[in-house]
Amino acid sequence: MPGSSPSAGPGDAALRRSSTWWRGGGRRRLVRAVLVALLVAEAAVGGHALVTALGRLTEPAWPWVAVAVLAELTSMVAYGRMQQRLLRAEAVPVRLSTAVRLAYAAHALSISLPGGPVFSTAYNFRRMRTLGASAAVASWCIALSGVLSAAALVALAAVAELLRGSTDGLASTLLHLAGAAAALLAVRMLGRRPGWLHRGATAGLAVLNRLRRRPPATGLDQVHDTLDRLVAVRLPRAELGAAAGQALLNWVLDALALVLCIRAVGGEVPGLLPLLLAYAAGMTAASLTIVPGGLGVVDGALVLGLVTAGTAAGPAIAAVVLYRLLSLGLVGGIGWALYLLDRRRADD
């Protein structure tokens, strides 16, 4: 009849059931299933290589292993302390234990999943928002944490190159260090010249809206509001210096864990400068690969660097395997446990 609504068919009922399942927790279960599948796939692909590498790891000196574990765990505390300082500088009260748990969980996502840094950044942002940070402060804290961490690693390599007196890799290292410094200066300059930021954002949004076939000013008020909040973020120089110190300590303790792993397998520890260069090369390789945890790439770079620095091949391989078991297996395992615990609390 005219004006009467058509009766719902079986397809409509199935659609409603599907929508109810999705809203009722199906989405979370699907995400968990995908994560488990990815981890199982990684274990299957890298399992043979791991078993072969473990065969090279003879009975280590356990006291050295224990100290290496302590150094590795403390390095994550240093990273958490850095983020705590950045958040507290913007009046976001965060306990150190909370910041460290966040650091562990985000790190686990970053090293375990394909495209891990994307998942890690999203998790960091969401958790910082629940801790009381505004969207601008959370974004700023995450970005500055990355810049400080990268700058600290480049600084280690630059110091080693300078002290070694070699010009082979010095120019490239100093260029990277200058890039990190330029990024920090650019942030400060944009904070003092917000008009530049607003004009750039307006132009960029207009192009984006044109591609989306929407009016040029769509979303402009929200973007300018976010930029105003972001520009209002101020970090005292003392706090910035302290945060940079924590970022450097994070790398130093991690490098110390590698040294202790060499000791644990009875290898000869190379000199400080060759060791720093080998370590910096391995960690740089980690940022240049899309393989979760840099499996194979980082290990090869570290082994090659240690052998070049003077450590025998056998102990170098065993030390790197042990170090990766701690930095990936132990730290990653703790991070995943904390992440799942956080998800469970959020679901309750």
Give me the pLDDT at residue 323, please: 92
Dihedrals φ, ψ of 312, to 5°?
A: -60, 150
Does 42 reside within a domain?
no
Q: Which percentage of the chain shows pLDDT scores above 70? A: 63
Give me the pLDDT at residue 30, please: 63
**Position 331 confidence tier, pLDDT thresholds 50, 70, 90:** very high
Q: How does pLDDT run across 26-50, given as a tens digit for each residue?
A: 555 665 666 556 555 545 544 554 5
- Alpha-carbon span 46 to 92, nearest angstrom: 41
- The amino acid present at 229, given as its one-letter code, is R
Asked if residue 110 lies in contact with residue 116, where contact means CB atoms within 8 angstroms, the answer is: yes
- Alpha-carbon span 280 to 121, nearest angstrom: 23
Asked if residue 260 lies in contact with residue 64, where contact means CB atoms within 8 angstroms, the answer is: yes
* Residue 186, Cβ density class (10 Å: 0-12 exposed, 13-18 middle, ≥19 buried): exposed
Does 144 reside within a domain?
yes
Q: Which percentage of the chain shows pLDDT scores above 90? A: 22
Give me the pLDDT at residue 342, please: 85
- Alpha-carbon span 299 to 247, nearest angstrom: 23
Give me the pLDDT at residue 269, please: 86
Closest CA to 141 of 154, 124, 155, 162: 124
Give me the pLDDT at residue 68, please: 96
Give me the pLDDT at residue 81, please: 95
Count other Cβ atoms within 10 Å, centred on residue 10: 7
- Alpha-carbon span 110 to 106, nearest angstrom: 6
Q: How many domains does the chain have?
A: 1
Q: What is the pTM of this model?
A: 0.71
Q: How does pLDDT run across 193-218, given as a tens digit for each residue?
A: 555 555 666 777 677 777 877 787 77
Does 314 reside within a domain?
yes
Give me the pLDDT at residue 251, please: 94
Closest CA to 253 of 283, 288, 293, 291: 283
* Residue 93, Cβ density class (10 Å: 0-12 exposed, 13-18 middle, ≥19 buried): exposed
- Alpha-carbon span 240 to 105, nearest angstrom: 24
Q: What is the mean pLDDT of residues 11-16?
A: 49
Give me the pLDDT at residue 7, please: 47
Give me the pLDDT at residue 178, please: 65
Q: Is pLDDT above 60 for 244?
A: yes
Name the H helices within the chain: 10-21, 27-54, 62-89, 96-112, 116-130, 135-164, 170-192, 194-211, 220-231, 237-264, 272-287, 297-309, 313-324, 331-347
Q: 47: which 2 tokens? A: 């399992």
**Position 57 confidence tier, pLDDT thresholds 50, 70, 90:** low
- Alpha-carbon span 322 to 331, nearest angstrom: 13
**Position 11 confidence tier, pLDDT thresholds 50, 70, 90:** very low
- What are the DSSP calls for 96-130, one per residue? HHHHHHHHHHHHHHHHHSTTHHHHHHHHHHHHHHH
Does 32 reside within a domain?
no
Give me the pLDDT at residue 140, please: 81
Closest CA to 141 of 126, 155, 128, 131: 128
**In whole angstroms, what separates CA 30 from the centre of its chain?**
24
Range in 14-18, 36-40, 157-161, 301-305 with the lowest mean pLDDT? 14-18
Q: Is pLDDT above 60 for 13?
A: no
Q: What is the mean pLDDT of residues 230-238?
A: 65
Does 25 reside within a domain?
no
Q: Is pLDDT above 60 for 230?
A: no
Host domain of residue 219? 71-347
